[in-house]
Chains A and B, each alone.
Chain A
Amino acid sequence: MPVFYENRQLVTPGDLLAENEYINGENTYKENGKIYATRVGLFVAEDKRVHVVALKAFYLPMVGDTVVGKVLEVTLGGWVTDIRAPYLAMLRASDALERPFKPQKDDLPSLFDVGDIMVAKIVAYDRTRDPLLTVLERGLGKVTRGQIIEITPTKIPRVIGKQGSMVGMIKEETGCLITIGQNGRIIISGKSPEDERLAIMAIRKIEQEAHTSGLTDRVTEMLKKEKGEKSKKEVVENVPKET
């Protein structure tokens, strides 16, 4: 039962990973009983399944994913939206209104105009059709405030953490509202720009160190330290004012 790499070792496309009884998982392919890598990434073997955690990839739509989209065009019956995927997503007017769409009465640009940002869910997608979106669920709809950052979509699971432990921690430490799109766009909206800056810093750190372990603890530590320094600075700044 040969496996040719150790766990978490770096592999490149075309590297022979395993042979025979192994099952090929993500970012690999099987030919004549041999499994090869298709992307640059870290090798992982669990039981009989071999896969590669890609270090760089693009977003591919999946039905049920929550994504952050940007309106590119308002058409007669809906909106054409960029979701950072190889395909443009369509949001139909009937999936944005809670009643039937009446072209004479309803003014689409007043709901979403070109350049507007929305949180939406993918309701339909397969290789023959472009993705379809909806905003008719809780937590979905237009985004009116906050900052957007973009990261590689493969690192999103790391930002969320096990059962949301990582985002949960960042939300708690910074007091920001964080919405994560599976397509690698994250919306951060906090009470002050300083809180938002901290949250962005934490996410950037996760992005850079996604392939290392013990990350949640290190990010917590960093946030605590940053906050501590900030409050210290405020104290120092406040002293001269009082005197």
Chain B
Amino acid sequence: MSQKKPEKLIDENDIRSDGRKLNEMRQVKIEVGILGNADGSAYIEMGKNRILAAVYGPREIHPRHQALPDRAALRCRYHMAPFSVQERKSPAPSRREHELSKVIRESLEPSIFTEYYPRTAIDLFIEVLQADGGTRCAGITVASLALADAGIPMRDLVSACAAGKVDGRLVLDLNDVEDKGGEADMPLAYMPTMNAVTLLQMDGMLTGEEFEQVLNMALEGCKQINQLQKEALRAKYKVVKEAEAEKEEEGEKEAAE
């Protein structure tokens, strides 16, 4: 690993190693519906994270014994590409990836009306193309958009964001260096209109008071992410509308000539 840990992650002016303020999120870019062959898809860039999500279904379940009699089975695969990290990662799913698949599945399932489609499968694929800390949160955020894009009925969008403690200070949205060199990291997934938390994990140490502050920071982060998610969903359909408006204008011009 050529990555060096800087001595100080936060300088005396409260500026972090990548130039952000303490409560500032990384730059986020989201696109919805970018894969032609999947039923629904989305792509996110969150700082240096680049993640793709694809959804198929609800469809016939194979193998049949996995079918649930009262609801759809959500099957999730979180996978990191071999080139997503500095040292080549084996493409075989690792222990960590299996665990994240389960955690992401459980954080998205409450948002989906799985009980509408018994005996079917909803297949979700999350592919991390480039990782820089906080991939589970970014993964949940895109996956939720891919589900919405597939036309699967949902109670709410799930937005996820992490907060934690680095160099004794509380910060929002940790990147890879901060995660490794910091004291605590707490990913949170949240459904804003339901006001329900669907994922809450933490590693490291925080006092009770700090925990509450970090939780509130992460909640604020999720709300910001939710706005971006909605914008991204709307953007997909606005493009169609604008193209039409232009066409109509052209038509009017032609008619005038």
A-side residues, CB < 8 A to B, are 10, 12-16, 27, 29, 36, 38-40, 54-58, 86-88, 127-128, 208-209, 211-212
Interface size class of B (residues with CB under 8 A): 20 to 34
**In the assembled complex, B156 has its CB within 8 A of some CB on chain A:** yes
Residue of B40, B150, B193, B241 near A14 (CB, 8 A) is B193
**Which chain A residue lies CB-closest to B156?**
A14
Q: Using a CB-CB cutoff of 8 Å, which residues 158-205 of chain B contact chain A?
A: 191-194
Q: Using a CB-CB cutoff of 8 Å, which residues 222-236 of chain B contact chain A?
A: 229-230, 233-234
B189 to chain A, nearest CB (A): 14
Residue of A16, A40, A54, A86 near B120 (CB, 8 A) is A86
Residue of A10, A15, A55, A86 near B59 (CB, 8 A) is A86
Residues of B within 8 A of A36 (CB): 155-156, 193
A46 to B87, CA, bound (A): 59
24 A–B contacts, CB within 8 A, in A order: A10-B238, A12-B233, A13-B154, A13-B155, A13-B156, A13-B157, A14-B156, A14-B192, A14-B194, A27-B153, A36-B156, A38-B113, A38-B153, A39-B151, A39-B154, A40-B233, A40-B237, A56-B149, A58-B151, A86-B58, A87-B119, A87-B120, A211-B241, A212-B244
Residues of B within 8 A of A12 (CB): 148, 157, 229-230, 233-234
A80 to chain B, nearest CB (A): 10
CB pair B237–A55 under 8 Å, yes or no, is: yes
A14 to B222, CA, bound (A): 14
CB pair A87–B60 under 8 Å, yes or no, is: yes
In the A-B complex, the 7 residue pairs with the closest CB atoms: A14-B156, A38-B153, A86-B58, A57-B151, A13-B154, A56-B151, A86-B120
Residues of B within 8 A of A87 (CB): 60, 119-120
A38 to B233, CA, bound (A): 13
CB pair A14–B191 under 8 Å, yes or no, is: yes
CB pair A58–B39 under 8 Å, yes or no, is: yes
Residues of A within 8 A of B150 (CB): 56, 58
**Which chain A residue lies CB-closest to B58?**
A86
CB pair A86–B151 under 8 Å, yes or no, is: no
Residues of B within 8 A of A15 (CB): 193, 230
Select the residue from A12, A27, A38, A212 with max chain B CB neighbours within 10 A.
A12
